Structure 1
Amino acid sequence: MIDLLVVGDANPDVLVSGAPETPPAGQAETLVDSGTLALGGSAAIVACGAARLGLSTALAATVGRDAAGDFVLDTLRAAGVDVGACVRHETLPTALTVCLNRADGDRAILTAPGCLPAFDAAQVPEVRARHVHAASYFLQPRLAAGLTALLERFRSTGASTSLDTNDDPAGEWRLAPGLLAACDFVLPNEAEALALAGALTGDPVSALPVALTRLAAAGPVPVVKRGGDGAVARYEDTDVTARGPRVTPVDTVGAGDGFDAGFLAGWLAKGDLAEALAWACACGALSTRAAGGTAAQPTLAEAEPAAARIRVTREHL
């Protein structure tokens, strides 16, 4: 049995820093501060982070039969991730993302989905795992259509489950019926939490406590990332909040995925929500030390002392 199966997207990221907000056309050459080729895709970054923390980790994803697909699979293997559950599409290319990073930490993300929409839940093999995590729900409609049944199947074998939807390019934020109930944890950032909670009832949500209440009522423990302000999780009648560490990031691409990896490692190690939140905040922060989502992901030896310094509080509602 492995510790973690991650299901979702995998692609190269091209990270560009110092680009103007609207690059000039007319075949003008625009010089930028830096460019980096890195492993991308939320699922792939989570898998790499978990493997670096010592979890036996496999990834189920799809890539094309092209150089980009070779890059993705070679990078995952080098990180210690089992790619035996990855499939290669015969005709469609590997997805590709370009991130235009701004000095204030914000970024524009341009994604050519390639073979991502063709990835089907039926392609995920029977794997014995302690936990199953799914990512990038809205980029993979065929996977999304079968994800509820897939997670329920793994839960029936004793696995715990989690979902990080990531952004919805369509802005609709609708999840399949029963999906949240099939998850032990849902791991959005604050903006995603508000959007998901609003879509549950059709009533807009502008306050995080309301979002936590609605998401928790649907079944999972909501674990919400708040960037430099840490994270908060709602479990029954208690909010568990983690703060710190404060860092000056080099690049925040993949920090949320590093957070997910740390959370899952902490949860699988101790089964304690406060400990998992501390590991999540530590790993998310440490991952910002270099460009790209995986270059600075912490080892177990780096994450453990950082997590011990995270301040975690509980507030009964």
Structure 2
Amino acid sequence: MNATPDILCIGSVLWDVIGRSENTMRQGSDMPGRITQLPGGVALNIGMALARFGLRPALLSAVGRDTDGDALIEACKVRGLLTEFIYRSDDLPTDKYMAVEGANGLIAAIADAHSLEAAGDKILRPLTDGSLPAPYAGAIALDGNLTVDLLGQMAQSPLLAAADLRVAPASPGKALRLSPFIQAKRGTLYVNLEEAGLLCQTAFANSSEAARALLARGAVRAVVTDGSNPATVGGAAGIVTQEPPQVHVTRVTGAGDTFMAAHIAAELNGHDAPKALAQALEAAALYVSGETTI
């Protein structure tokens, strides 16, 4: 091991293929724009942002032993991420995510994380083979691209009982995968307003209402965002709600990951709830405006 990680990022590590147009788009639109391929995936996006904030993240994920996988591992190393704990599969291809964005936001996206799901608990071997200390007592950023069964195991696992778990669903379609952490009363949940509604089986008018409902449902701590509307952090210490800075939005993919990473970094650096939330909202605003990268 080349260095001791400050935090583990567990989940999707893949290639992001993003098509962006400056025009407003709808279903069936055919517009000029730019298509980029960059390292991505929720766990990797969070890890890259954490590295930018001065931390040493280690990735636990599955990456194929193919050309795409080799290039992705090298790209992670260049960005300051520890990759020696990643499970490299001989028979599973490297995962990809594809999205189309217009001036009016995300139009559509497809996440192909089938290899990560197929790898299952193999990605956790560093916690059982002595590569990492166990029970693990540090911070962990975990995304919902893992299977429901594996997430359920992790919510109850003695290997993670002492960890500072930070959990995000990866997308609204995977929001219910966070239910085991509510039931186990483990971790800080990072969700948007829609995801909070899915977890609570209702709709919310704002992030404060959503955070309070998640806590009432059993969540230990919840961080709820709502785009350009106020975001809320709720837990045993109380409720904090703040307005995000208003900026011109040039991109949206990766904004939630940047917010989560900035919030984690701020809290690991000892900032209180209001200051940590303010720093996270500022970082996300800079990202969606195009002034910073993950």
TM-score normalised by L of structure 1: 0.79
Q: Secondary structure of 1:261's match?
A: helix
Cα deviations by residue, 1:162-185 (Å, 9 ceiling, x for unpaired): 100122537x82545455545331
- Counterparts of 1:9 and 1:64, CA distance in 2: 12
Alignment of 1:236-315 (within 5 A): 236=236, 238-270=238-270, 272-290=272-290, 296-297=293-294
Corresponding position of 2:170:
166
User: Is the 1:118–1:142 Cα contact (8 Å) retained in structure 2?
Assistant: no
Which residue, out of 131, 136, 159, partners 2:139?
Answer: 131
TM-score normalised by L of structure 2: 0.85
- Counterparts of 2:14 and 2:32, CA distance in 1: 23
Corresponding position of 2:192:
189
Q: Secondary structure of 1:115's match?
A: helix
Alignment of 1:148-227 (within 5 A): 148-150=155-157, 152-156=158-162, 159-169=163-173, 173=176, 175=178, 177-179=180-182, 181-198=184-201, 204-208=202-206, 209-217=208-216, 218-227=218-227
Aligned residues: 279
Where does structure 1 differ by over 4 angstroms across 4 or more consecutive aligned residues? none
Query: Which residue type is aligned with residue 155 of structure 1?
Result: A
Cα deviations by residue, 1:26-70 (Å, 9 ceiling, x for unpaired): xxxx66311111111111000010011111211101111222212
Which residue, out of 125, 146, 149, partners 2:153?
Answer: 146
Query: Which residue type is aligned with residue 147 of structure 2?
Result: Q
In 2 relative to 1, CA 207–119 (structure 1 residues): closer, same or farther, beyond 3 Å?
Answer: farther
In 2 relative to 1, CA 175–288 (structure 1 residues): closer, same or farther, beyond 3 Å?
Answer: closer
Query: Which residue type is aligned with residue 130 of structure 1?
Result: G
- Counterparts of 1:37 and 1:268, CA distance in 2: 31
> How far has the Cα of 1:288 moved from its partner?
2.2
Q: Secondary structure of 2:161's match?
A: helix
> How far has the Cα of 1:13 moved from its partner?
0.8
In 2 relative to 1, CA 178–239 (structure 1 residues): closer, same or farther, beyond 3 Å?
Answer: closer
> How far has the Cα of 1:91 moved from its partner?
1.1
Gaps of 5+ in 1: 25-29, 199-203, 298-317
User: Is the 1:144–1:176 Cα contact (8 Å) retained in structure 2?
Assistant: no
Query: Which residue type is aligned with residue 215 of structure 1?
Result: L
In 2 relative to 1, CA 131–44 (structure 1 residues): closer, same or farther, beyond 3 Å?
Answer: same
Identity %: 25
In 2 relative to 1, CA 85–174 (structure 1 residues): closer, same or farther, beyond 3 Å?
Answer: closer
Cα deviations by residue, 1:70-115 (Å, 9 ceiling, x for unpaired): 2321221111010111111221211111111121123311122330
Q: Is structure 2 residue 79 aligned with structure 1 residue 79?
A: yes
Corresponding position of 1:302:
none
- Counterparts of 2:20 and 2:84, CA distance in 1: 34
- Counterparts of 1:72 and 1:21, CA distance in 2: 32
CA RMSD of aligned residues (A): 2.5
- Counterparts of 2:239 and 2:75, CA distance in 1: 38
> How far has the Cα of 1:205 moved from its partner?
3.4
- Counterparts of 1:130 and 1:53, CA distance in 2: 17
Q: Is structure 2 residue 52 aligned with structure 1 residue 48?
A: no
